[in-house]
Amino acid sequence: EAGVTQSPTHLIKTRGQQATLRCSPISGHTSVYWYQQALGLGLQFLLWYDEGEERNRGNFPPRFSGRQFPNYSSELNVNALELEDSALYLCASSLAGGPVADTQYFGPGTRLTVL
Amino acid sequence: AQSVAQPEDQVNVAEGNPLTVKCTYSVSGNPYLFWYVQYPNRGLQFLLKYITGDNLVKGSYGFEAEFNKSQTSFHLKKPSALVSDSALYFCAVRDMDSNYQLIWGAGTKLIIKP
């Protein structure tokens, strides 16, 4: 069974540009989570999508946005890129979010570098 | 507010010795606890979780964790460390107050020396 996949592996942008990151969950998983992992820092929760709806959002500015498609894949958009947006962006999926303690399974990440 | 702490930034262990990576938590209700491992430039891999039941949870790669309610701890353990266990380890707790999101510890770097 295929795991969570993310594309691209690496992405290099300049300040002010927009970045789009993509994630395909494990087959059968309906919840998708996005995290930012900056160098030397832990995981910071960005967004949670379930059944096509945004269910929760972390403490990030509105220029971080995303969506979930009918096939449960998801994309993360970062507008007006800033140098401090350089980080590893991780996507995870689970069978269901909410009170059921389903395990989140992670993709390999997209390394975003902003120059 | 729910929280999780990993008090050690780094743990050094000789190969073959037992290892422990510490995690303590603070929750208002029953905790749902998780351990993940991250190898360099890779995503996180799920190791094990505690939801309810036996306090000793067994997971992948020979790891286990002991849930201790009185000490609010969920330490990760392995009887005999391998050099290949060297990685970054994250503990997480389910946040029942914030739409059930995972709250993550800062991570502990485990270094196994041959």
* Model confidence pLDDT, tens digit, residues A9-64: 999 999 999 999 999 999 999 999 999 999 877 899 999 999 999 999 999 999 99
Q: Do B102 and A105 touch (CB under 8 A)?
A: no
* Model confidence pLDDT, tens digit, residues B94-110: 877 766 788 899 999 99
**DSSP annotation string for B2-16:** -EEE---SEEEEETT
Query: Best of A4, A6, A32, A43 to disrupt the B interface by mutation (most B CBs within 10 Å)?
Result: A43
Burial class (CB in 10 A: 0-12, 13-18, 19+), A45: buried
Q: Do A56 and B41 touch (CB under 8 A)?
A: no
Residue with the bigger pLDDT between B50 and A102: it is: B50
Q: Write out chain A residues lying below 8 Å of B49, CB-based.
A: 101, 103
**A91 min Cα distance to partner chain B (Å):** 9
